[in-house]
Amino acid sequence: MIDFPLLGPTLAFLYGFALYCVFRVLLTYRTSQGALAWIIGLLAFPFITLPLFVLFGRNRFSGYVRARRLGEQSLNYHLTDFEQQTSSLTGADNQHLDDDLKVLCRLTKQPFTTGNECHLLKDGRVIFKALFDAMENAREYILMEFYIVRSDRVGQRVKTILKRKLAQGVKVYFLYDDIGSVLLSKGYLRELSRAGAQVASFGDGNVRRRRFQMNFRNHRKLLICDGEVGFVGGINLGDEYLGTEFDQGRWRDTHCCLRGPAVLGLQLAWLEDWNWANANMPALNWQPAATSRGNQEVLILPTGPADPFETCTLFFLNCINNARQRIWITSPYFVPDFQVVNALQLAALRGVDVRIIIPEKSDGPLVRLAAYSYLVQASRAGIGIYRYQPAFMHQKIILVDDRYAVVSTANLDNRSMRLNFEIMALSTGAEFVRDVEAMLEDDLSACVRMTALDYQDRSLVFRITCRAVRLAAPLL
């Protein structure tokens, strides 16, 4: 018989650590289903479950300081300055807004600002031209934040422009997510750094604080130039977003361009992320100026796992529960939790036109399978789920009645609602809402509506697979 003298202490440590993790689950769980799954796994299979829990079990992003929430001094200074500067460009306490919009201001601690231009940008070539032009016209600084950055043609074009602007004396701050951009070459980053850019990853700059938080991603896509023009939406920096043919076919995406005081809301969100990654406070323009050609009211909504509330989930629920005539949502990934599904069902049952546009072609086969499992629930309530046929649709858009439209980085899935840092731009401008409506009507004309039979008429193996994949929704 082989003797393992350390077996007893090892098992004692293992189960002791597992019990500690169970204690953590009981203190912090958000859904009983997830908590039970972790507890059973930790107690029954600790060898397997403990490493998974360490990497994926946390639901709070510890250490990230949000100025609007926790009062970190240097960031709070900029927040106070931002609020004072924009007070003359907001409605009187936003009293003219509907209650569901007022609550979003309280949720995000940002005001609606007036005097903005908000332009819809459809598809990659148009979007990249606007991004490149804005960078070329920057005079003082360029702030960048993208989930995915590649070293392909688009990435090389970005690097060329940034190096040229650096040579002209423009400051460049380049922030990327180290998980989304895992394939980005170190040489690309070194070349930018040597040219004078300040480069930081959302994780690498804070290894001590970030350890064991691999499940969290900075999914935001931002470009801000001089505090005067800003961009937000679905586009990452890669050739696939050009709209040409790739593995999933042509890509379809949407961004928006902002000018006016709302740009400072984007800038504040960027600064919080930069402070986490770099602990550096660059000198930025905080003097808002209403544009002469724009009068749109815009609200910037940053969300993330450092928030005291599930801000992204509450945002979606607020939109769905307060829709009166219609709510149209586009998302490349449709894996909502039970709260969102119930809210969509209730909206449809009270007569709201509920339409969800998802892609026929997908870069995530598991997510595509999971979406089938919702068809029966959706069909019973009258929710329309439409699959976009010509391309992989990557845009994240929400249209609520004729009242407002949202261009976002957030998907209709658990990862965006609980694990990712996301950001949205909401505009109540009538012209912008009409533009979004026209765009979505065009998209819908290229869709096929799905029915419960698309799920029920498939094989038993297919249906079981879809339901099994749906169980993994929190990780998809």
Catalytic residue list: 219, 221, 226, 394, 396, 401
d(CA 266, CA 232): 8
Using DSSP, state whether 266 is helix, strand or coil: helix
Question: Cα-flanking dihedrals φ and ψ of residue 114, to 5°?
Answer: -105, 175
d(CA 404, CA 426): 7
**Measured on CA atoms in the order 176, 146, 216, 188, is the torsion positive or negative?**
negative
By the 8 A CB rule, do 335 and 413 touch?
yes
Among 62, 34, 2, 37, CA closest to 305: 62
Tokens of 180: 């989304």
Q: H-helix or E-strand containing 224?
A: strand 222-225
Tokens of 441: 């009507």
Q: Which residue has the tokens 């148009």?
A: 126
d(CA 462, CA 466): 6
Burial class (CB in 10 A: 0-12, 13-18, 19+), 160: exposed
Amino acid identity of residue 110, one-letter, is: Q
By the 8 A CB rule, do 236 and 255 touch?
no
